[in-house]
Amino acid sequence: MRRHLGDRSLQKLQPANLAALYAELFRGGLASPTIKLIHRVLHRALGQAKVWGVIRDNPAELAKPPREPDRETEMLQPDRAAELLERLRGRPFYMLASLALATGMRRNEMLALRWQDIDLDGRLTVEQALEQTAAHGIRVKAPKTRHGRRTISLPVHIVTELRQHWREQQELRLAMGLGKAPDDTPVFATPDGGYMNQGTVTRQWTEQVAAIGMPGVKLHSLRHTHASMLIAGGVDVLTVSRRLGHASPTITLNVYGHLIHGGDDRGAQIVAAAFGSKMVADGGKRTNN
C-alpha cells in the first residue's frame, strides 16, 4: 500500500491511488473477496478520518476493487472478435457489432446515434442515448454525465462500412416509398425510420449469435473487448476513459485495472535510458559529496 501512497498526506490521497493499489493486488493473485475486505477496512478508516476532519472527502467512496469479468462482461480475444464479425457478415446486426468493437459505445448510445452525429471523414459524436421505460416508451435523453457526451475517432474500415450502411438504408427507404432519410434518422433504424426497441435488439442479438454458433456472446461484451484491446495496445487510461465516456479515469481503473501490465517494467526502461548509459561509461563509480 505504501508503494502507492508513498509519503503523501491523507489530504492528498486520491481514488486513483486506491484503484491502482487494488489493481496491483489483483494482478498479484490476491482473491477478489480479500481485496474487497481490504477496501472495506480502508473505507471505514478513511471515513473516520473524514469525521475527525483530517480529510474533506473519503477517496474510498469513489474507488472500487477491480472485479473479474463475469459472463455479462466477457471480453473476447481479438481472433474471437474477428470470427464473430465474419460470421455476422451479411446479417442484420453486423454493423452494430462492428461499430461496438470499433468504438466501445454502449448499446443505448448506438441505438440513439443519428446520421447527423457522424462525420464520414472519420469521427462521430455521442450526443444522446436511448431510454425505454414502461411509462414513456422509447425516448432519447442526454448522456448520464458530461463525459458521456464525446467525440470518437473512427477507424478507416468503419467509415467505409458506415457509408455502405447508409446506401443500403437509403435503398430500402426508396423501395418502401419513404424517400431519402433525413439527417436525424437513426443509424440503426426500424424500416420506417424510427428508433429500435432495446429489448427487441437484445432478444434478436441473442438469436443471431446462437444461429452463427457463438451463443452466450453478449452485445455489451463488445464494449469491454474494445477497452481491453486498447489497454493491451498500450493506450493510456485517460484516453481509454474518454473514449468509453466514463465519468472519471478512476472508473476505468476500477473495471480494467487488472488488465494493465508492464507499467513498472516500462518505468525501469525509461530510467535506464536516461541514466544507464552514463553509469556504464563511468564504470559504475560512486562519488561521495
Ranges for all domains in the chain classified under CATH 1.10.150.130: 2-68
How far apart are the C-alpha atoms of 132 and 119, rounded to whole Å?
A: 27
What is the secondary structure of 207-271 as a DSSP string?
HHHHHTT-TT--HHHHHHHHHHHHHHTT--HHHHHHHHT-S-HHHHHHHHGGG---HHHHHHHHH
pLDDT above 70 for 7: no
pLDDT in tens, 193-217: 999 999 899 999 999 999 999 998 9
The whole-number average pLDDT for the span 128-148 is: 84
3-class SS of residue 178: coil
Provide the percentage of residues in the chain whose pLDDT is more than 90. 44
pLDDT in tens, 220-267: 999 999 998 998 888 998 999 999 999 888 888 878 876 765 545 555
3-class SS of residue 173: helix
pLDDT bucket at 270, cuts 50 / 70 / 90: low
- The answer as to CATH 1.10.443.10 being correct for domain 71-229 is yes
Residues 6+ away with beta carbon under 8 Å from 120: 159, 162, 163, 166
In this structure, what C-alpha cell is assigned to residue 61? 467512496
Q: Which of 62-76, 100-114, 162-176 is predicted least confidently? A: 62-76
Q: What CATH class does 2-68 carry?
A: mainly alpha
How far apart are the C-alpha atoms of 14 and 4, rounded to whole Å?
A: 10
Phi, psi of 76 (to 5 degrees): -85, 145
pLDDT at 6: 40
Q: Within the chain, what is the greatest distance between any pair of CA atoms?
A: 87
Q: The whole model's pTM is what?
A: 0.68
Residue written as grid cell 457489432 = 97
Q: What angle do CA 118, 93, 122 make, to 5 degrees?
A: 20
Residue written as grid cell 466477457 = 74
Query: What's the number of CA atoms in the CB half-sphere (13 Å) around residue 239?
Result: 11
pLDDT above 80 for 41: yes
Residue 104's nearest CA partner among 217, 243, 212, 209 is 243
For residues 48 and 135, the model is more confident at: 48
pLDDT at 12: 82
The whole-number average pLDDT for the span 142-156 is: 90
Ranges for all domains in the chain classified under CATH 1.10.443.10: 71-229
